[in-house]
Chain A
Amino acid sequence: MKNNKLADAIGLIKDDFVEEAHAKKKFRFVVPWALIGKIACGAAVLLLVINIIPFGRKGSNAADQYYANSSSYEYKSDGSTQYAYDEEAGGAYAGGNTHDYRSESTVSENKKLILTARMNVETKDLDELLSGLNETINKYGAYIQSSTVNTSGSSTRQYDATIRIPSDRYGQFLEELKNSGNVSYYSEETKDVTDSYTDLQARLKSLKAEEEKVLEFYDKAANLEELMLVEERLSEIRYEIEYLEAQIKNYDLLVAYSTLTIHVTETSSYTQTSTSFGERLARAFKNGFHDFIYTVEDIVIDLAYDIYGIIFIILLVVLGIFLYRKFRNRKNKN
């Protein structure tokens, strides 16, 4: 017997259930929070990795540390603007913001000092800075030993160069260069080669004296055997003299021309010097935002490179879903 009472009772269920059962399938946009969450987590990890690993775009602390390791005299944008002076380094440099990096008068004529320096500069217009740099180089008789402009794979342009500057004009050159951009890092190392240089000169002098004596023996040689021995020694002495002269010449060149390795980054905002927590925090947010924009730009550019492949994969997936549904519907009908 059919249970009429149960069927009648079902007829009285809530309107919502009745309506829900025969409701036409409406397109409802459901925010895919789970997917958004996963993408956000992935992006966060990616950004974290990008920020932790010093790829070199930013004046990263890791890179600064590397430079700092060999410095006896350094300047950092995020720290004090005072220049530490190291007596042992043999430099004679003034502290403070108006730096006379190298005072010619205080460097003893007798001292043989080789100066190498590294500098990170930020600029808002790389072309303008390079133009100014070339003028400064010409003005002070300096020259570029090597240079690289890097524009690929990044939204910021970078310029690296090794510049040789006449040592007696290094201070003026640096002062002028400093005004062309924002110096975010500076380190310098001075190597005193006076002892080695003096030793080379003494050895050269001694060899030249020996050369003169050997030449006297050459004139007095009685037989062929003696002549051969003298010639052999003379040849050795001359080889050593040439070697020492080349070394001295090399030292002279290194002493006469200081070496500056410069790394220029084109940026939209300069790194600000600040010490308070609030300022540093504000700077971190600001710079972080700029880095984020750069990262997004890079991702978009990378996507643009891969767009055809992505479209092809999407089409394959859509086709796969379409065929699967068609196959399933046919199977259900059968």
Chain B
Amino acid sequence: MEDQKIVELYWNRDETAIAETKAKYGNYCFSIAQNILHNQQDAEEALNDTYLGAWNAIPPHHPLNLGTFIGKITRRLSLNIYRSKTAEKRGGGQIAVSLDELDECIADEKSLRDSLDDQVIADCIDEFLSDLKESERRVFVCRYWYFDSIEDIASRFRYSESKVKMMLKRSRDRLREHLLKEGVVV
């Protein structure tokens, strides 16, 4: 079924919307959740919360790209579950490495301005991503949005792992400069 028809079902409060979403984007959302949580049970929990989140978000939203919209919900909910789990038990894993890498974007003595809205920071990051080359941008988003492992990214784009690491390092350095320049990091 087409995205817009599924969205229409949400707007009509038709519960088949969830079944259609699950059929079309279930695997996609599960892979996002699994990338972050590395636990099937937790990933399924995140997935169920995602469908509920989508049910509550549409309406008022009317997403043009339902896949990305649902994916964003899955990512946010999975991160929340990850954070609550790691608060109980500090652990490693791929997501931890990715988040550590993101920390590099903010110098030790500086911090993100808490008063800034996430969307303002996201707009700033959008601006930064627009200036990147397509290959660099794809690698960056795979790593910090989807939390793919370096190995997966290298395999996906047919790069060597060292090349992926180097691309990510350069992108992070440039992001840090951009955030400083835009006053997002103080």
- The interface of chain A, by Cβ under 8 A from chain B, is 1-15, 17-22, 329, 332
Contacts and interface: CB of A to CB of B under 8 A. Distances in A.
A2 B125 contact: no
Contacts of A11: 72, 75-76, 79, 118, 122, 145
B121 interface: yes
Contact of B142 (A1, A4, A21): A21
A22 B79 contact: no
Contacts of B114: 5
Given A2-B103, A5-B121, A13-B122, A19 B65 contact: yes
Contact of B160 (A8, A9, A332): A332
Given A9-B125, A14-B129, 5 more contacts: A3-B106, A6-B105, A7-B99, A21-B138, A22-B142
- Of B68, B83, B154, most A-chain CB atoms within 10 Å: B68
Contacts of A2: 96, 99-100, 102-103
A21 B145 contact: yes
Interface of B: 64-65, 67-69, 71-72, 75-76, 79, 83, 96, 99-100, 102-103, 105-106, 112, 114, 118-119, 121-122, 125-126, 129, 134, 137-138, 140-142, 144-146, 154-155, 158, 160-161
Contacts of B118: 5, 8-9, 11-12
A20 B68 CA distance: 10
A215 B106 CA distance: 132
Given A11-B79, A13-B122, A17-B141, A3 B68 contact: no
Listed from nearest, the 10 A-B pairs whose CB atoms lie closest are: A21-B141, A12-B122, A9-B121, A2-B99, A15-B68, A21-B138, A9-B122, A15-B65, A9-B118, A18-B68
B74 to A, nearest CB: 10
A21 B65 CA distance: 15
B145 to A, nearest CB: 6
- Of A1, A10, A19, A329, most B-chain CB atoms within 10 Å: A10
Given A18-B71, A19-B65, A19-B68, A6 B138 contact: no
A15 B122 CA distance: 11
A4 B86 CA distance: 13
Contacts of B96: 2
B63 to A, nearest CB: 8
Contacts of B140: 21
Contacts of B126: 13-14, 17
Given A13-B122, A18-B141, A22-B142, A3 B154 contact: no
A20 B146 CA distance: 12
B102 A6 contact: yes
Contacts of A14: 126, 129
B21 to A, nearest CB: 16
6 contacts: A3-B112, A5-B114, A10-B122, A11-B76, A11-B122, A15-B69
Contacts of B134: 20
Contacts of B125: 9-10, 13
A265 B64 CA distance: 69
Given A8-B76, A9-B121, A14-B126, A3 B69 contact: no
Nearest to A3: B103
B137 A7 contact: no
B121 A6 contact: yes
- Of B96, B114, B122, most A-chain CB atoms within 10 Å: B122
Contact of B146 (A3, A22, A329): A22
A3 B99 contact: yes
A333 to B, nearest CB: 9
Contacts of A10: 102, 122, 125, 144-145
Nearest to B153: A21
Contacts of B141: 13, 17-18, 20-21
Contacts of B122: 9-13
Contacts of A9: 118-119, 121-122, 125
B137 A20 contact: yes
B144 A7 contact: yes
A260 B176 CA distance: 89
Nearest to B139: A21
Given A3-B112, A10-B125, A12-B72, A17 B137 contact: yes
Contacts of A15: 64-65, 68-69
Nearest to B143: A21
A265 to B, nearest CB: 57
Contacts of B158: 329, 332
Contacts of A17: 126, 129, 137, 141, 145
